Amino acid sequence: METQLAIDGGSPVRDSLLVFGAPTLDEAEFDEVMDTLRSGWIGTGPKTLRFEQEFAAYVGSPHAVAVNSCTAALHLALVVNQIGPGDEVITTPLTFAATANVAIHQGACPVFVDIDPCTLNINPRLVERAITPRTKAILPVHFGGLPCDLDALQRIAGEHGLAIIEDAAHAVGARYRGEMIGGSGNLVCFSFYANKNLTTAEGGMVTTADAAQAEQLAIWRLHGLSRDAWKRYQSRRLMQSDVIYPGYKYNMTDLQSSLGIHQLHKQPEFLRTRERYARLYDEAFDALPGVRRQPRPDDGRNRHALHLYVLILDREQFRVDRNQIVAALLAENIGAALHYRALHTHPFYQNRFRYRPGDYPCAAEVGESIFTLPLTPGMSEANVAEVIEAVYKVLSAYRR
Ligand SMILES: Cc1ncc(COP(=O)(O)O)c(C=O)c1O
């Protein structure tokens, strides 16, 4: 095996880039998109209704409302909880910008609570201390697809009269205590972005057990109109719509839902492949000093959705930082990625809230030590072997 790193002029493990999070699509999606294009109805209509119903059934929720991103889903979840100026929303700093930005959009304040360095999820033991009279909601993220300790969070929320809004952007297919993520009855927000377990290119969904809330979400997602275009068209009569809220333009189109319907049907098979590849990674990396990974419950009742396969470096054991390691993996043509640098270390959050990295030490440390490896059902076992070879090559070269 060549030991000179590609970043130093050696030959790469692969000749072309193994793209991070490439979507897995086939004729089923292509045909459905063509059918939609030919149908004459490409906006929000019958395919979106079908996608919502089938998604709700998959996660075990009475209602699902499709939107055009998880960011929109999270924003609307705050809107229907009437979270606004002066309110506080407790969330994790180890997440994508959208999770906290939506609180800012509502004029509310995201209040970070540090993560558990083992699970990488919000630490429920620290949540209670962050509650003030202004706290309105807890917004946990199922990081990478590993469900949070929802029982503990639910107990705290119940005692303090708070809403729970779950950021399940990574968690399509995850299971917690025998229930699919999305079936808790809380407002649960999913992402169907291009690299997600289930993709519609861009898209999102909110599930809820509350029929009134589902209706509100559907109105807020389309300009606050009392009836959307599909309902008006179906009635075959002149039907006026009333603007009952200053709503948003967050609806999902039937073109996107055409992808979603078939991606949804493939989820059990996709998840089996993700699990098979993740086990190959586990075997290889559990034997590699200097890295650790998230725990992965595998008992039938609890399931990691394996959206992200992350490795966490013991930085003391390496001569270079995490960014150099990811750069070296990219030079080997392995599409490694970063999820995530802790939000409180970003300029906006530092400037607005005067945060220092040490305010949330676990998230700050993990945010500098973590990197994500390619893991999609469209990869082959040979691709998995290439990723393992490259990680061994790079980490061996940089080990102290
Ligand atoms: C944890 C988390 N929340 C929210 C989002 C936003 O999702 P979307 O791109 O669908 O708006 C993402 C996107 O990757 C995410 O990782």
Contacts of 342-345 with CB under 8 Å at 24 or more apart are 342/93, 342/94, 342/366, 342/367, 343/93, 343/94, 343/95, 343/97, 343/99, 343/100, 343/112, 344/93, 344/112
Encoded tokens for 262: 């078939």
| Residue carrying structure tokens 């019958």 | 46
pLDDT at 362 over 90: yes
- Region class of 173: left (phi > 0), else alpha (psi between -120 and 50), else beta: left
Of 47, 136, 196, 393, which one is the catalytic site residue? Answer: 196
pLDDT of residue 226: 85
pLDDT of residue 175: 97
Partnered with residue 167 across adjacent β-strands are 141, 189
What mean pLDDT value characterizes the chain? Answer: 96
CA distance 249 to 79: 14
Q: pLDDT-based confidence at 240, cuts 50/70/90?
A: confident
- Per-residue pLDDT, averaged over 59-86, amounts to 98
Going from the Cα of 257 to the center of ligand 1, the distance in angstroms, rounded, reads 18
Strand residue runs (E) in 158-249: 163-167, 175-176, 179-180, 187-191, 204-208
pLDDT of residue 89: 98
pLDDT of residue 113: 98
Q: Which of 75, 146, 193, 205 to mutate for ligand 1's pocket (most ligand atoms within 8 Å of CB)?
A: 193
Domains (range + CATH), the chain: 6-22+267-398 (3.90.1150.10), 27-265 (3.40.640.10)
At 279 the three-state DSSP class reads helix
Going from the Cα of 143 to the center of ligand 1, the distance in angstroms, rounded, reads 11
- Ligand 1 binding pocket (C-beta < 6 A) is 69-71, 95-96, 98-99, 141, 167, 169-170, 191, 193, 204
Q: Which numbered atom of ligand 1 lies nearest the CA of 340? A: 16
Q: Which numbered atom of ligand 1 lies nearest the CA of 204? A: 10
Going from the Cα of 70 to the center of ligand 1, the distance in angstroms, rounded, reads 6
Q: Which of 74, 191, 206 to mutate for ligand 1's pocket (most ligand atoms within 8 Å of CB)?
A: 191
Going from the Cα of 96 to the center of ligand 1, the distance in angstroms, rounded, reads 6
Q: What are 272-287's pLDDT values in tens digits?
A: 999 999 999 999 999 9
- Per-residue pLDDT, averaged over 302-321, amounts to 98
Give, using CA atoms, the residue closest to atom 8 of ligand 1.
70
pLDDT at 8 over 80: yes
CA distance 379 to 382: 8
- CA 204 to chain CA mean position, Å: 10
Q: Which numbered atom of ligand 1 lies nearest the CA of 203? A: 10
Going from the Cα of 191 to the center of ligand 1, the distance in angstroms, rounded, reads 6
- Per-residue pLDDT, averaged over 212-224, amounts to 95
pLDDT at 232 over 70: no
Q: Which numbered atom of ligand 1 lies nearest the CA of 141? A: 1
Helices (H), ranges, the chain: 27-39, 46-59, 70-80, 97-105, 124-127, 150-160, 211-220, 229-235, 254-265, 267-285, 322-331, 347-353, 361-369, 381-398
Give, using CA atoms, the residue closest to atom 7 of ligand 1.
70
CA distance 171 to 339: 15
Going from the Cα of 169 to the center of ligand 1, the distance in angstroms, rounded, reads 5
Q: What are 157-207's pLDDT values in tens digits?
A: 999 999 999 999 999 999 999 999 999 999 999 999 999 999 999 999 999
Is pTM, for the whole model, over 0.95? yes
Residues in the chain: 400
Q: Which numbered atom of ligand 1 lies nearest the CA of 193? A: 10
Residue among 302, 290, 296, 298 at smallest CA distance from 371: 290
CA distance 44 to 53: 14
Encoded tokens for 153: 């969070």
Active site residue 231: no
Q: Which of 69-78, 313-322, 350-359, 382-391 has the lowest mean pLDDT?
A: 350-359
